[in-house]
């Protein structure tokens, strides 16, 4: 393969058989359980990177079921999103994500900088309860429960919340293990159609794990919970801050 062929075909790793196709990526019947809880403000400040600003002692713990996604297939995800502001725009900083499918782990990390790691999340219904769990190997590190479809939410308000910006810290190392890329990325969900949205009573437990430290943002009080079903497109991102000049 000559130099021109490499330039023309190179997209992602591996060169001749990338782990995922080019985006953007469409999701049908994406199902969320989001439990919003109060946590320790100092713990939040310790993990949210400048120039993002923490807006309050709040975390959104998410369990997301994705049965139909272009390029990525059928998988489930779980993690923590922290409400923040950036240059006056309110959004969410994606702090941790755990999922059970290789291609969205690779694509999410390499394209946007999603903080994805391999684990075994699950979201399902048990009789009258929506149940989310996150296992890392044999250890359960998160469990959330919510009353199933107790109260319907306003679809337009839910849609607006999904359209808010999200932020990621994208880090790719150089061959000498210094940072080659260190950027703050902003992205949006697009073409959002809310097909169902409900609230209900909820509970959340987080447990310590050396390599999945979700419990480092402790649950002090559950504030609210939502159960959402939507079709949407995961839009490609843009770099809004480059950290590397500050390292030099």
Whether the predicted pLDDT of 248 surpasses 60: no
Whether the predicted pLDDT of 80 surpasses 90: yes
Would you state the pLDDT for residue 4? 92
Q: Is the peptide bond before 51 cis (omega within 30 degrees of 0)?
A: yes
pLDDT digits (tens, 9 = 90+) for 94-108: 999 999 999 999 999
Q: Any idea which residues carry the catalytic annotation?
A: 116
pLDDT digits (tens, 9 = 90+) for 25-54: 999 999 999 999 999 999 999 999 999 999
* pLDDT classification of 130: cutoffs 50, 70, 90: very high
Whether the predicted pLDDT of 247 surpasses 80: no
Average pLDDT score over the chain: 96
* pLDDT classification of 245: cutoffs 50, 70, 90: confident
Domains in the chain (CATH in brackets) are: 23-247 (2.40.400.10)
Neighbour count for residue 190 (Cβ, 10 Å): 14
Q: Measured in whole angstroms, how far is the alpha carbon of residue 241 from the centre of its chain? A: 19
Neighbour count for residue 123 (Cβ, 10 Å): 22
Would you state the pLDDT for residue 246? 65
């Amino acid at each position: 393969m000559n130099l021109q062929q490499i330039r023309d075909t190179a997209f992602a790793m591996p060169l001749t058989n990338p782990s995922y196709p080019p985006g953007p990526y469409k999701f049908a019947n994406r199902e969320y359980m989001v439990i919003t809880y109060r946590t320790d403000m100092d713990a939040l400040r310790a993990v949210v990177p400048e120039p993002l600003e923490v807006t309050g002692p709040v975390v959104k713990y998410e369990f997301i079921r994705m049965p139909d996604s272009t390029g990525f297939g059928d998988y489930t995800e779980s993690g923590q999103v922290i409400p923040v502001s950036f240059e006056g725009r309110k959004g969410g900083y994606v702090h941790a994500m755990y999922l059970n499918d290789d291609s969205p782990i690779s694509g999410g990390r390499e394209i946007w900088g999603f903080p994805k790691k391999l684990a075994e999340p699950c979201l399902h219904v048990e009789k009258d309860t929506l149940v989310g769990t996150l296992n890392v190997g044999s250890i359960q590190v998160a469990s959330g429960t919510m009353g199933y479809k107790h109260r319907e939410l306003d679809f337009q308000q839910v849609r607006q919340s999904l359209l808010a910006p999200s932020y990621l810290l994208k880090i790719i190392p150089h061959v000498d293990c210094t940072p080659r890329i260190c950027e703050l990325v902003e992205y949006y969900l697009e073409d959002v159609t809310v097909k169902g949205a409900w609230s209900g009573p909820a509970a959340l437990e987080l447990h310590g794990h050396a390599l999945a430290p979700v419990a480092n943002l402790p649950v002090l009080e559950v504030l609210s919970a939502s159960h959402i079903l939507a079709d949407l497109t995961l839009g490609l991102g843009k770099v809004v801050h480059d950290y590397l000049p500050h390292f030099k």
